[in-house]
Amino acid sequence: MKVVEGLKDFLVQNPVGKIFYPRIMYVNKLGKKLLGVDLIRSIRDSDPYQNGGWHGNDTVWRMVLDLNKILLYGRSDGTLGPRAARRMVTVVDGLYAGEGEGPLKPSLKTAGVFMVGVNSLALDIVAATLMGFDYGKIKLLSRALEIQDFPLRDHTPPEAVQLRSNVAEWHSLDGVRRAHLGFRPPRGWVGHIELDASAADATSTAA
């Protein structure tokens, strides 16, 4: 119920959502009447493999990278410029986070983390590592590092990204890797994105 209400609040408060929310609710109501199916709940509760929420999905990451290129290089005339058109500051509020079947059915995880970065890709890599995931196994991140045209980062290797933290272990990506927070991945990703056992051993040793 909270998930459905949260979606409703987002759609109603978002300018674009105000346009689509009545239509989404109408289709859902029609589905209940004609098919006896709550479409929103069926999508939320269905098999993640059926809906694309799994490690083998080879399309969503491409779309997200394209959107990021547009965000960075897009110009007012609808074209992409040769250089980044804007600077960005990315903020991650992870004080209370979700793990497991997110974003629709997450389990609460009190991470107590607040992150800020001037490069969204670098920040995502650090955040994924902090969660206990190997960014090299996540196509959205690993393929982003390979982009030559309209790159989403400078040429600094991930391991050399400068980190500052009030947690002593988190002043380098390797330190984050050794002292990660051990988030539980969604069902469709279990066994495919976690850090190697050697890193987990190092984590338990550090703890």
The string of pLDDT tens digits covering residues 19-32 is 655 666 666 676 66
Tell me what pLDDT residue 92 has.
96
Tell me what pLDDT residue 205 has.
43
Mean of pLDDT values over 39-46: 59
Any idea what the Cα angle at residue 189 is, between residues 184 and 194, rounded to 5°? 60
Query: For 119-136, how does the pLDDT look when each residue is reduced to its tens digit (9 = 90+)?
Result: 999 999 999 999 999 999
Predicted confidence (pLDDT) at residue 65 exceeds the cutoff of 70 = yes
Pick the closest to residue 98 from 109, 88, 85, 111 (CA basis).
109
Residue 167, phi-psi category: left (phi > 0), alpha (psi -120 to 50), beta (remainder): beta
Helix H segments across the chain?
2-13, 15-35, 39-45, 60-73, 120-131, 139-142, 173-178, 197-206
Rg (CA), the chain: 19
Strand 113-117 versus strand 105-109 pairing type: unpaired
Strand 105-109 versus strand 97-101 pairing type: antiparallel
146 with 132: CB under 8 angstroms?
no
| Beta carbons within 10 angstroms of residue 171's beta carbon | 13
**The model scores a pTM over 0.75:** no
Q: How crowded is the C-beta side of 16, counted as CA atoms within 13 Å?
A: 0
Per DSSP, the three-state class of 27 is: helix
Question: What gap in Å lies between CA 124 and CA 143, rounded to an integer?
Answer: 13
Pick the closest to residue 63 from 137, 145, 143 (CA basis).
143
Q: How confident is the model at residue 54 (pLDDT cuts 50, 70, 90)?
A: confident
Question: What gap in Å lies between CA 17 and CA 9, rounded to an integer?
Answer: 9
Strand partners, 116: 91
